[in-house]
Amino acid sequence: MDPRKVNELRAFVKMCKQDPSVLHTEEMRFLREWVERMGGNIPPATQKAKSEENTKEEKPDSKKVEEDLKAAEPSSEESDLETDNEGVTEPDTDTPQEMGDENAEITEEMMDQQSCCVLYNMHPWAGCP
């Protein structure tokens, strides 16, 4: 079912709980009859509802329904689905580490030492001079 339609229905039911006279309008006759056929009870109409039904003033109720629907709609288009983050690497929150001098010139001796260290890490028995 369309989630927006469910939210509209939820808002309408909430409005009916707050003001059951809404159900006594001619427009809602089909709903009253269905609820009663299903064994439900509709509270009796108030004087206000009876006079509205007679004069067929349904515009205030329509505006109220629209306001309730707007209030019931989600404020964002985000989904209610849970996201499975299994296997997802969390972002690094450590403070940045100091790096070397980017303007330094690399010498042959520095490259030889680095190569030796890499070789030592791959083969510790090789030794590093």
Q: Is the distance from CB of 98 to CB of 45 less than 8 angstroms?
A: no
Assigned domain for 96 exists = no
Residue 81 lies in a domain: no
User: Does residue 26 fall inside a structural domain?
Assistant: yes
> 65 or 95: which carries more pLDDT confidence?
95
Q: For position 58, what pLDDT does the model report?
A: 46
Q: Transcribe the chain into DSSP letters.
A: --HHHHHHHHHHHHHHHH-GGGGGSGGGHHHHHHHHHTT---PPPPHHHHHHHHHT--HHHHHHHHHHHHHHS-SS----PPP--TTPPPPP-SPPPP---TTPPPPHHHHHHHHHHHHHHH-GGG---
With respect to residue 30, please indicate whether it lies within any of the assigned structural domains.
yes
| pLDDT per residue as tens digits for the range 4-13 | 889 998 998 8
pLDDT interval class at 128 (50, 70, 90): low
Tally of domains in the chain: 1
| 7 is a domain residue | yes
* Residue range 24-33, pLDDT digits in tens: 889 989 988 9
Residue 11 forms part of a structural domain: yes
Instruction: Show the domain range for 12.
Output: 3-38
